[in-house]
Amino acid sequence: MFAARNGKFQRGFTLVELIVTLTILSLVSIGIFGFIETSTSGYVESKDREALQSQARFAVERLGRELRHAVPNSVSTSNTGKCLSYFPITYTGFSASRDKNSNTLNVALATDDADWQSKVADGKHRIVFMPSKPSDLNAGSANNLAVTGASGSELVTNKPIGELWPSASPSNRFYLYSDKITFCFEGSLLTREVDNTSGSPVTLAKNLDAAASGFAVGDDTLSGGNLINIAYAFKQSGETSVYNQQVQVLNAP
């Protein structure tokens, strides 16, 4: 804009031009900031979703790997399906003939661990031959025995001399185990706890909806009791992602 004053031209803008210019700049700035905010929000949501999926993958892989190696028929649920307990196999193998006048077993273990004897003779391990239900593995059950010693290829148990051994499987297979492990959906957490140990449960995953998550075990048959169904409901930023997992316990008798 040019204006004549005292015979000379002067440069400048009118008030209307300034207002129009500022209005246009404001609209452009709002658009730019809105685009940046949308992009940033989308990036944050994408990272949160990726972190949630990473948690879900970890939980699914961890529970699947552990439960597949549970002692057959040792899995049970509690707290209306919000908790699941099982006994992990320490070692498994086969035994030779079982003499009722002896409390020792000649065994062949499926392991390359050269120091297995000291591990199973720690005062916590027990041996079970053909478990058909979770209570068969509890201390005091007639279907399992405490391991009191091990040397070479022999296991020593607390079986009274002269009494019969617990029922054997057709292949004379046995399982050595110790502490029970329990997984629980508690509030927004999935936790893991080992019985007879100090300390709080270990958190495996967060951002869970416990009301929509849970465990279920098959029927009471030998095969059904080794099929586990798990539902994980992850919730974050108003979104819920549901994962369903089915785990088949290996080594079923």
Q: For residue 159, is it within any domain?
A: yes
Instruction: Give yes or no: residues 140 and 216 share one domain.
Output: no
Predicted pLDDT at 94: 93
In a domain, 118, yes or no: yes
Alpha carbon separation from 29 to 13, 33, 34, 35, 145 (Å, rounded): 22, 6, 8, 10, 77
Do 70 and 189 lie in one domain? The reply is yes
Verify that 94 and 209 share a domain, yes or no: no
Tell me if 21 is assigned to some domain: no
Determine the pLDDT at residue 3. 52
229 & 240 share domain: yes
DSSP SS3 for 106: strand
Domain count along the chain: 2
Task: Tell me what pLDDT residue 47 has.
Answer: 75
Same domain, 95 and 162: yes
pLDDT digits (tens, 9 = 90+) for 113-161: 889 999 999 999 999 999 989 999 998 899 999 999 999 999 999 999 9
Q: What is the pLDDT of residue 45?
A: 67
Domain that holds residue 164: 88-177
Residue 171: per-residue pLDDT: 87
- Shared-domain flag, residues 187 and 157: no
Domain's final residue, options 150, 177, 204? 177
Q: Which residues contact 89 (CB under 8 A, 6 or more apart)?
A: 69, 70, 71, 175, 176, 177, 251
10-residue stretch averages of pLDDT, the chain, 253 residues long: 55 74 79 67 69 88 94 94 96 91 93 91 94 92 95 94 91 94 95 85 93 86 73 87 91 61
Distance CA 19, CA 10 (A): 20
Q: Tell me if 109 is assigned to some domain.
A: yes
pLDDT at 22: 80
| Residues 78 and 195 grouped into a single domain | yes
Measured distance CA(69)–CA(59) in Å, rounded = 16
7 assigned to some structural domain: no
Residue with tokens 């009494």: 163
Q: Are residues 108 and 75 in the same domain?
A: no
Residues 80 and 185 placed together within one structural domain of the fold: yes
Is residue 93 assigned to a domain?
yes
